[in-house]
């Protein structure tokens, strides 16, 4: 058979990627996989809404005012004027006859008072638990002073506001950088395991050996890696759409967040690109780990070092975010597995774009290196057949026939 009848590495990888992508995306298990996080999000949102409703429905503790009628009216008036300015406790008028002993009044089961102000306006007495007294004694003294007319609670003051300061902007961008790292880590941890389980499953039922006999092992690894990336991007689009809808509907309740250094559109684009690179990098490591696992039962034990490596990378990136310009930040940006995290953080904090082009080229190089290492280890330790089996493999028609056979076996 002529060499031209054989598929190139990228053609064979495309066949493998299309096969795996179609088999996973159109399965019922994948639908449940997509719904799972949304279901958890809905439960969390529902629990938060119910908790907020319960908090709103609960009456705030009040400061009982058990003073003569004229003094009580003055306190209530002072509270109404001061509360918008400095935040005052809620107050409630109490009949002085019922407050002969404030301790008894506070211990009543139907009481909603945290403290009681009794006596007279000239000689007031504040009774209540120590913590509440320490918290509200200053505000209570201000109320009494305002009621006496000895303080000026309101004054004409010229105001000149600014949008934000440089410190606030840096703090907000640092928070955006850390949030991006956390989201990148969680999505990668959630989705990268699919590469491992898929390879081990096909290795257990000998499908991977049939594929390896027909095409280069590098093409099998590349195809599976990009198929799982495509599956992950489908999940990312679904979850991102739902999250975007929630943010859009609740935009009025969200605080104003200063944009990242590169702007929101480019930051979101870079997030997707660096997610793809982080997934390809750790996925290629997981492929190598999966190729070493004799059985599905051994996957968890063998994959533990890779999982620990992910956690170490996450902690390294989080630590390096606060060390701008230091050697550890540069090292984290250069180290292949942590590079996507650090470059996403730099997109939030600095607007230099050529860094990202260089970083992406560097990360693509290491994806190729990891795939080559994984395929070589698989051939030497698992197949133990070198290239002989591949040399005798069929061309384009033979590969497609084998794929039909393995699909039916699945």
Report yes or no on whether pTM surpasses 0.85.
no
Q: Is the pLDDT of residue 387 over 50?
A: no
Which pLDDT tens digit goes with each residue over 276-289?
Answer: 999 999 888 887 77
- Is residue 386 within 8 A of residue 379, CB to CB? The reply is yes
Which pLDDT tens digit goes with each residue over 163-194?
Answer: 444 555 677 788 888 888 998 998 888 887 77
Which pLDDT tens digit goes with each residue over 37-66?
Answer: 777 777 766 666 665 565 555 557 788 888
- Is residue 354 within 8 A of residue 380, CB to CB? The reply is no
Tokens read off for 338? 């942590």
DSSP 318-332: HHHHTSTTSHHHHHH
The predicted pLDDT at position 382 comes to: 62
DSSP 200-250: HHHHHTTHHHHHHHHS-HHHHHHHHHHHHHHHHHHHHHHHHHHHHHHHHHT
């Amino acid at each position: 058979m002529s060499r031209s009848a054989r598929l190139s590495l990228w053609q064979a990888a495309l066949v493998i990627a299309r096969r795996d992508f179609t088999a996973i995306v159109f399965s019922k298990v994948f639908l449940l996989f997509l719904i799972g996080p949304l279901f958890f999000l809905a439960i969390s949102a529902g629990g938060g809404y119910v908790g907020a409703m319960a908090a709103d429905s609960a009456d705030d503790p009040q400061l009982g005012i058990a003073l003569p009628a004229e003094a009580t009216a003055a306190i209530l008036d002072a509270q109404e004027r001061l509360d918008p300015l400095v935040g005052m406790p809620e107050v409630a008028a109490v009949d002085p006859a019922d407050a002969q002993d404030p301790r008894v009044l506070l211990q009543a089961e139907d009481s909603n008072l945290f403290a009681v102000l009794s006596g007279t306006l000239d000689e007031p007495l504040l009774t209540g638990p120590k913590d509440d007294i320490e918290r509200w004694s200053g505000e209570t003294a201000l109320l009494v002073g305002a009621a006496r007319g000895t303080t000026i609670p309101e004054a004409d003051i010229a105001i000149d506001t600014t949008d934000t300061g440089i410190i606030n902007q840096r703090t907000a961008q640092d928070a955006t950088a850390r949030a991006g790292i956390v989201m990148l880590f969680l999505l990668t941890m959630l989705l990268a395991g699919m590469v491992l389980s898929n390879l081990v499953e096909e290795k257990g039922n000998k499908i991977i050996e049939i594929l390896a006999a027909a095409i280069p092992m590098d093409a099998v690894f590349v195809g599976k890696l990009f198929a799982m990336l495509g599956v992950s991007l489908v999940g990312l689009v679904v979850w991102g759409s739902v999250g975007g809808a929630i943010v859009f509907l609740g935009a009025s309740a969200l605080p104003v967040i200063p944009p990242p250094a590169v702007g929101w559109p480019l930051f979101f684009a870079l997030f997707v690109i660096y997610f793809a690179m982080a997934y390809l990098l750790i996925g290629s490591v997981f492929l190598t780990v999966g190729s070493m696992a004799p059985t599905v039962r051994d996957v968890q034990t063998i994959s533990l070092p890779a999982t620990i490596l992910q956690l170490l990378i996450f902690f390294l990136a989080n630590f390096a975010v606060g060390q701008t310009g230091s050697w550890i930040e540069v090292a984290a940006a250069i180290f292949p597995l942590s590079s996507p995290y650090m470059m996403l953080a730099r997109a939030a904090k600095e607007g230099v774009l050529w860094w990202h082009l260089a970083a992406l080229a560097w990360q693509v190089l290491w994806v190729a290196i990891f795939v080559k290492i994984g395929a070589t280890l698989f051939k030497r330790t698992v197949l133990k057949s070198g290239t002989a089996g591949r040399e005798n493999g069929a061309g384009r028609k033979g590969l497609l026939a084998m794929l039909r056979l393995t699909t039916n076996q699945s």
